[in-house]
Structure 1
């Protein structure tokens, strides 16, 4: 029906790369092994799963961008979501995730199914989030909106227009002077013994992240009606506008008005979906097609700048 891409961001490293990118490579290979075993026993996903390992990421996202440029028409029509693993494990505290707002419900669902690393067996990733990554205003986990350009999701985000996700098992910044990244990032000290001794001694964080992203992939490829919540997009747009700093309170009035119109349309869309005939595959297909086009509607049809004007 559609392709779902689950991928490792890169396989090239600045030095020995035990964390960046090998933690992601190891996680990807294990998830691939498990799903391959399921396939050998008869499992067939509703949507196609594609596993990718990109080269030349550190030189400028070359491998993934070249791939998207080559197949942008097909990807723009068929990709449901892109699950990114780059620096997959840099600590053993909790999972930090960033994603399209459409994926938040599916991410929360997956987090409730997976045990948290180095915690009691009954404590899930979601339970850990309630303790350490919780938004008391929304009463939900803290999940970042939007991905930016820091890894191989860029091409899928800005050219194919899919709904994408990135996650990493991280350390507690408060325990380390509020560091933004692990201290040995891109150094020659980033070796296996460092991971084994300091980062993930029992490799529970690798396992938990693999389970979390694997479950999320299965949710996205097995659910007949795509689990995308369009109302989340309205909330994300409003939060973004509210974050802008300006001395002119009227500067974003038109943008706020457009966002309100978007919110009304989103609520009407969700209301219509509740009366949808979920036993009719053609109705489901039409609904899913509309969901897929939401992110694409925000793309510039001429491409991202003059150099890419032929890509749409």
Structure 2
């Protein structure tokens, strides 16, 4: 890899260590004594600049929340499904369990894996379920997802008891009580995943339909924090999780059960439980967040989304007449479902240093490379104020929306 093509990677190697190890290393450093305002608080130590060694103890040290809550949940799901396998269970679709390394260094483990196997993954994968951080509170679930997974998440949430709530209350019940969309009378979910965890490569390079679900805190009580207060600090230890965040580990259990049910639904249901009509609403919502000075510039995109909605409705209607005993008919229908999300990938990405940001509808914008934005390339063009670039990006988005709707058409009626 050329240096000028890796400017987003850390230039100085760093390794998080504890205070004890840091004290041993720092006492051997020589050179000029460190200025007072740059000194740390380790006892019996004179701070020197030294050579190229750096001592630190940052937020990655123990991580009882991020990522250990996710790792523990993943291991438990693996254990349970492994036991089911020993007892004779064979999933209809293959299951792969992945624990990635070097996530905090720039998602290196997952992205390197995806880059090596992107063709195989692009041809076969149904969905990636991310469990980076399973529990950051004990109140309710927080969901980021592809729109077409909305209904299956609701279905699974109705089957799982809610943590720390009265018997009989499900995850869905609690979700609706505390985080309901009053316009649709459905639980709130965020569409698009962004770049803050290992789902990034699956979203932007593979084009699978993915989700990230975690247990979180009461936003109404604590306010809209950027994250849980102990995020990436040395206070993320087991005793904190045990005494404060999840004393009975009920939130861990609930998230594990939810992930397990979702895994079984996605792997066992003959016709993939993906609702393409959810994308119609999602596309329109994403477009409506765009505020160009001349709103008519969005008319071609609006027309394409309306056409997408009509084709999506026809596609769902055809599912009702599928021959459930005909595996070829089911396979053809499922293949069309899988192609929809992939059809939103622009091979050129957003150009320049952003070629990996390929998803036309949901990807980080250049002005915020952490969270997902709706139609990010158009959003960036609007920020630039360049009317030619705005029209160009609208044309590109329109092209891919129309390409996506073509994946849902009947094979013998493709050009209609």
TM-score in terms of structure 2 length: 0.70
Match of 1:232 among 267, 278, 291: 278
Q: Are 1:71 and 2:117 matched, yes or no?
A: yes
Cα deviation, residue 42, structure 1? 0.5
Distance in 2 of aligned mates of 1:175 and 1:307: 40
Distance in 2 of aligned mates of 1:304 and 1:159: 13
Q: Are 1:139 and 2:158 matched, yes or no?
A: no
Tell me the SS of whatever aligns to 2:337.
helix
Q: Are 1:116 and 2:165 matched, yes or no?
A: no
Per-residue CA deviation, residues 157-179 of structure 1 (Å, 9 max, x unaligned), is 11110000001100012222331
Per-residue CA deviation, residues 71-96 of structure 1 (Å, 9 max, x unaligned), is 00000000000000112101000011
Cα deviation, residue 301, structure 1? 3.0
Q: Are 1:272 and 2:272 matched, yes or no?
A: no
Cα deviation, residue 291, structure 1? 0.4
Tell me the SS of whatever aligns to 2:214.
strand
Tell me which moved more, 292-301 or 203-212.
Answer: 292-301
1:219-298 matched pairs, under 5 angstroms: 219-298=265-344
Per-residue CA deviation, residues 48-106 of structure 1 (Å, 9 max, x unaligned), is 01000000000000000000000000000000000001121010000111111111111
Cα deviation, residue 305, structure 1? 4.5
Match of 1:202 among 248, 252, 261: 248
Aligned positions, number? 300
Q: Are 1:129 and 2:175 matched, yes or no?
A: yes
Structure 2: stretches of 5+ with no match in the other structure: 1-15, 17-58, 359-416
Match of 1:153 among 187, 192, 199: 199
Distance in 1 of aligned mates of 2:179 and 2:224: 15
Per-residue CA deviation, residues 211-264 of structure 1 (Å, 9 max, x unaligned), is 001101100000000001010010100111112233322131111111011111
Distance in 2 of aligned mates of 1:70 and 1:178: 38
Distance in 2 of aligned mates of 1:138 and 1:38: 38
Do the aligned residues in 2 keep the contact of 1:159 with 1:304 (CA within 8 Å)?
A: no
Tell me the SS of whatever aligns to 2:323.
coil
- Residue 148 of structure 2 corresponds to which residue in structure 1? 102
Structure whose residues are more often strand by fraction: 1
Larger Rg belongs to: 2
Distance in 1 of aligned mates of 2:61 and 2:73: 20
- Residue 60 of structure 2 corresponds to which residue in structure 1? 14
Per-residue CA deviation, residues 179-230 of structure 1 (Å, 9 max, x unaligned), is 1211111111111111111100000000000000110110000000000101
Distance in 2 of aligned mates of 1:29 and 1:131: 31
Distance in 2 of aligned mates of 1:44 and 1:184: 41
TM-score in terms of structure 1 length: 0.92
Between 1 and 2, higher relative CO (CA 8 Å, sep ≥ 6) is seen in 1
State the Cα RMSD in Å: 1.8
Match of 2:128 among 77, 82, 89: 82
Q: 1:171 to 1:238 in 2, by over 3 A?
A: same
Tell me which moved more, 288-297 or 238-247.
Answer: 238-247
Q: 1:309 to 1:175 in 2, by over 3 A?
A: closer
Do the aligned residues in 2 keep the contact of 1:82 with 1:163 (CA within 8 Å)?
A: yes
Per-residue CA deviation, residues 113-168 of structure 1 (Å, 9 max, x unaligned), is 00000001200001101101111111111111111111100111111100000011
